[in-house]
């Protein structure tokens, strides 16, 4: 059995802890060992959680360790993952049992999919993506690595979300639209046109922030 380490012990880290406890692999594929975080006081005042074991830079990986990340910032998450991988760390995926994943969908390594997510037919989700509760990723969609898709986002069929993009809560991405690398879509936005890389858009219909 593997020992699961959660990277980041803040609010999202606590959420991922409970998420990991609800996934089917608990006590069969992994047990939860604890957190690593650069702030040893992240869990001060919170009870019932395993300890912060060490900082991200200083943690010495053991043979049975596997990792997931709870870092919200896509840029910071990628850096943390690269640090762990450079030391030989291995990442696993955590798929909530209430998620509906089409049999022909393809999921990468280190993916986190939370409660009641719906992933459609022939959809591809890249490595280290984080898909939060009640999101819908339609048929034939392609989501690149390291993306963050927040609660109740709807990516209609044929959408392409390129690497390290972020789509915030309740945004809707219309059919066939491409969200460029590292782009950010604001909460409650309706996106009906392609979004260029490194661009932030908001609104209904979504427009580029000045």
Using DSSP, how many helices (H) and how many strands (E) does the chain show?
2, 23
Whether 189 is covered by a domain: the verdict is yes
Indicate which CATH number applies to the domain containing 140.
Answer: 2.160.10.10
Mapped onto helix, strand or coil, the DSSP state of residue 24 is coil
185 with 206: CB under 8 angstroms?
yes
In this structure, the number of other CB atoms found within 10 A of the CB of residue 11 comes to 12
The reply to whether 181 falls in a domain is yes
pLDDT in the model for residue 181: 98
Q: Which domain holds residue 111?
A: 95-199
58 within 8 A of 40, measured Cβ to Cβ: no
Q: Which residue has the tokens 């661009």?
A: 199
Confidence (pLDDT) at 153: 98
Tell me what pLDDT residue 210 has. 55
Q: 78 and 45 in one domain? A: yes
Distance CA 113, CA 181 (A): 21
Q: Strands of 37-143 (E only): list them.
A: 52-54, 65-69, 94-95, 100-101, 106-107, 112-113, 118-119, 124-125, 130-131, 136-137, 142-143
Q: Are 36 and 53 in contact (CB under 8 A)?
A: yes
Beta bridge partners of 34: 5
pTM comes to 0.95
Question: What's the confidence (pLDDT) of residue 130?
Answer: 98
Residue 94: how many other CB atoms lie within 10 Å: 22
Structure tokens at 82: 């690269």
Q: Is residue 25 part of a domain?
A: yes
What total number of domains does the chain contain?
A: 2
Per residue of the chain (210 residues), give pLDDT as tens: 999 999 999 999 999 999 999 999 999 999 999 999 999 999 999 999 999 999 999 999 999 999 999 999 999 999 999 999 999 999 999 999 999 999 999 999 999 999 999 999 999 999 999 999 999 999 999 999 999 999 999 999 999 999 999 999 999 999 999 999 999 999 999 999 999 999 999 999 999 985
Residue 80: which H helix or E strand, with range?
helix 74-86
3-state DSSP helix/strand/coil % of the chain, to nearest 5: 10, 30, 55
CA atoms within 13 A on the CB side of 129: 29
* 205 found inside a domain: no
């Amino acid at each position: 059995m593997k020992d699961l380490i959660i990277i980041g012990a803040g609010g999202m880290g606590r959420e991922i802890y409970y998420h990991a406890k609800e996934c089917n692999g608990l006590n069969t594929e992994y047990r939860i060992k604890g957190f690593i975080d650069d702030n040893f006081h992240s869990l001060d005042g919170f009870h019932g959680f395993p300890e912060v074991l060490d900082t991200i830079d200083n943690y010495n990986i053991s043979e049975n360790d596997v990792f997931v990340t709870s870092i919200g910032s896509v840029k910071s998450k990628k850096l943390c993952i690269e640090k762990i991988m450079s030391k030989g760390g291995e990442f696993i995926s955590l798929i909530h049992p209430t998620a509906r994943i089409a049999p022909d969908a393809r999921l990468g390594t280190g993916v986190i999919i939370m409660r009641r997510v719906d992933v459609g037919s022939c959809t591809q989700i890249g490595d280290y993506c984080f898909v939060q509760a009640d999101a819908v990723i339609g048929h034939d969609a392609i989501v690149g690595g390291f993306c963050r898709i927040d609660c109740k986002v709807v990516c209609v069929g044929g959408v392409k979300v390129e690497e390290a993009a972020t789509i915030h809560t309740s945004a809707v991405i219309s059919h066939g639209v491409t969200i460029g690398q590292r782009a950010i879509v604001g909460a409650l936005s309706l996106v009906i046109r392609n979004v260029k890389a490194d661009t932030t858009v908001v609104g209904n219909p979504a427009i580029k922030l000045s």
